[in-house]
Structure 1
Amino acid sequence: MNKSVAVVGATGLQGTAVTRHLLGDGWRVRALTRDPDGAKAQDLRRAGAEPVRADMEDVASLVAAAEGVWGLFSVQPTVGSPGTAPDFTSADEVRWGRNVADAAQAAGIGHLVFTSVAAAGRHLTEPLPANLISKWHIEQHIAGLGLPATILRPVSFMENFTGGYALQNGSLVSGLAPDTVQQLMAVDDVGVITAKVFSEPFDWIGRTADLAADALTPVQVAAAIGAALGISLPYSQIQGLSGDFAYAMRWLDEYGYRADIQATRRIHPTAMTFTTWLERTGAAQIAAFLAG
């Protein structure tokens, strides 16, 4: 097997984690990015990856960047998630995901791994937020092309609690009810699992797996962060939300991801709990944000 993988979105949270774990497992990695000369891309170069220019709006650039590699990792921004451009839409997300899949087919990729989101596809039996349906449309395009693919569906990321998206005015904030149990996954563990999937293609091609490692209410999350940092961190539910974001919060309150945590642990037995994630990296990231 040609032990090389092209990583789309390599300078983002998921792409960086995937790149790091692939390199650690001895893979050659092409780090696809719109800015191969940028600071994050150069950090990946120093780690051993090869930054290559590619834009998810430009299929030709994706094909050129993926030529000659065996595997390809695909991830797109999600509307409303931390760091996503304000004018980014679900239509943009779907188009970018389809472009990457089309490029994978054109380049003759041997194994495509796409990170979607848990619960994608359940809109066939229950109402879903738009950001979950968009991922499902990308999944359907991959299936329609007949690509040798694996779909990973993580739940909400623990890293969402490390910045202004969740930490405001001395409180942890979100649109969730205080007693809603939210399933969580560390981005680093998505990188671990993705590297494992690429290393076991015969076990993984054709499979879809939800990924979740812990489940806590917002009040419990706030208490865990407060304990880790030695501070008081109350939880405050945002009121007056509207549109898609308000519906996404109501969906989490009423339905939720419902991923099988034990199934994730069978794939990756040491996947981090929220407390473990705080001990290893999360508390330091949150402290740095609060100090800034």
Structure 2
Amino acid sequence: MTKLVTVFGATGQQGSSVVRELLKNGNFKVRALTRDPSSEASKSLKELGAEVVKSNDTDSKEAIQEVLKGSDAVFALTIAFAQNETDVGKKIADAAFGAGVKHFVFSGLPPCNKISNGRIIVPHFDQKYLVEEYVRELSESNPSFISSFVYAPFYYQNFKSFVPKKNENGDGGYTISLPSNGKPMDMGDVDNIGAIVCEILLNENKYSGVVVPFSGGALSGPEIANIFSKVSGKSVTFKFIPPSIFRTFGFPNANDLASMFEFYNEFGVFNDLDQSIASKITKFTTFGEYLKNSNFKLD
């Protein structure tokens, strides 16, 4: 029987990857939730065969529950920095449970506060983990409501913002500046998340209660710079920016991001989670492959 999967944030980076992979697999029908069904991104999902439905995570639980009716499974996520993620995530979980959804897949992140014994607080990580705990409680008290979890690494796509800058001394070289100077940082192409979620949905009992973190590779700052150099053909060096300095830069969410890098530097992106699960599911894009595929260039 073909399963109906409802995907939140369907036009976003994670959601669109999940929608495309599920439709490509052929075992699923997809209901794609979006704030704007008339957008070009929404239209492209509809052309692929998705049922595109207007829905907003700020809607009431009752409204979301109505949208989820008939769904066998849900892929859900909460948007960093844009909301109280814990409240929104719990509302979505309650709506899914109320709608009779059998399998709830949530995109979460490690609990920095818990792992660091309260020393490092990263709201967009910690709030997601509170949602995960709540979803697990729902599953434990209601065995027919299966839950699974996927953790994404630091996106390669973030380097559209953290781009190497041309050196001011005129030597023709470039510098990539990051607050990363501890453990190698797990990174990955967010487009790879679709294959993980598809596998989880195809094998709900196998992945019941399981966290699946994925990574295209763990790289140090100098290794990141070296790959930029190889792909661009330009000299790129790495410069470490202490998180304490990064906090003062004044752009949106600098404080939270600085804390995130503090956590990465000490504990790694996933701490001690088992990454071998994901490696058995699909082949992940390396950083060099991502840069080449995106036609990365330095002017």
Counterparts of 2:238 and 2:39, CA distance in 1: 37
Specify the alignment match of 1:153 in structure 2: 151
**Superposition deviation, residue 42 in structure 1:** 0.8
| 1:78-117 → structure 2 map (5 Å cutoff) | 78-79=80-81, 88-89=82-83, 92-117=84-109
Counterparts of 1:207 and 1:249, CA distance in 2: 25
Specify the alignment match of 2:25 in structure 1: 25
Q: Conserved in 1, the CA contact under 8 Å of 2:212 and 2:275?
A: no
Q: Does structure 1 residue 6 correspond to structure 2 residue 6?
A: yes
Q: Secondary structure at the match of 1:4?
A: strand
| 1:1-292 → structure 2 map (5 Å cutoff) | 1-26=1-26, 27-58=28-59, 59-79=61-81, 88-89=82-83, 92-117=84-109, 119-120=110-111, 123=114, 126=117, 127-128=119-120, 129-146=122-139, 147-161=145-159, 163-164=160-161, 166-167=162-163, 169-170=165-166, 171-177=175-181, 180-238=183-241, 240-242=245-247, 243-256=255-268, 257-258=270-271, 259-268=273-282, 270-279=283-292, 281=293, 283-284=294-295, 286-287=296-297
Cα 1:94–1:5, aligned 2, differ >3 Å: closer, same or farther?
Answer: same
* Larger Rg over CA atoms: 2
**Superposition deviation, residue 47 in structure 1:** 1.5
TM-score, normalised with respect to structure 1: 0.84
**Superposition deviation, residue 153 in structure 1:** 1.8
TM-score, normalised with respect to structure 2: 0.82
**Superposition deviation, residue 191 in structure 1:** 0.8
Q: Conserved in 1, the CA contact under 8 Å of 2:179 and 2:246?
A: yes
Q: Tell me, which stretches of 5 or more residues in structure 1 are unaligned?
A: 80-87
Specify the alignment match of 2:172 in structure 1: none
Q: Secondary structure at the match of 2:78?
A: coil
Equivalent position amino acid for 1:278 in 2: L
Cα shift readout 1:11-60 (whole Å, capped 9, x = no counterpart): 10000100000000112111101111111111111121111011111123
Cα shift readout 1:205-258 (whole Å, capped 9, x = no counterpart): 222222223100122112212311223333333352334332222221122123
Q: Secondary structure at the match of 2:148?
A: strand
**Superposition deviation, residue 278 in structure 1:** 3.1
Q: Tell me, which stretches of 5 or more residues in structure 2 are unaligned?
A: 140-144, 167-174, 248-254
Counterparts of 1:121 and 1:241, CA distance in 2: 19
Aligned residues: 271
Q: Conserved in 2, the CA contact under 8 Å of 1:212 and 1:260?
A: no
Q: Conserved in 1, the CA contact under 8 Å of 2:18 and 2:198?
A: yes
Counterparts of 2:115 and 2:184, CA distance in 1: 23
Counterparts of 2:228 and 2:150, CA distance in 1: 28
Equivalent position amino acid for 2:111 in 1: A
Equivalent position amino acid for 1:273 in 2: T
Q: Conserved in 2, the CA contact under 8 Å of 1:180 and 1:218?
A: no
Cα 1:173–1:65, aligned 2, differ >3 Å: closer, same or farther?
Answer: farther
Counterparts of 1:120 and 1:22, CA distance in 2: 29
RMSD: 2.2
Percent of residue pairs bearing the same amino acid type: 25
Q: Conserved in 1, the CA contact under 8 Å of 2:164 and 2:236?
A: no
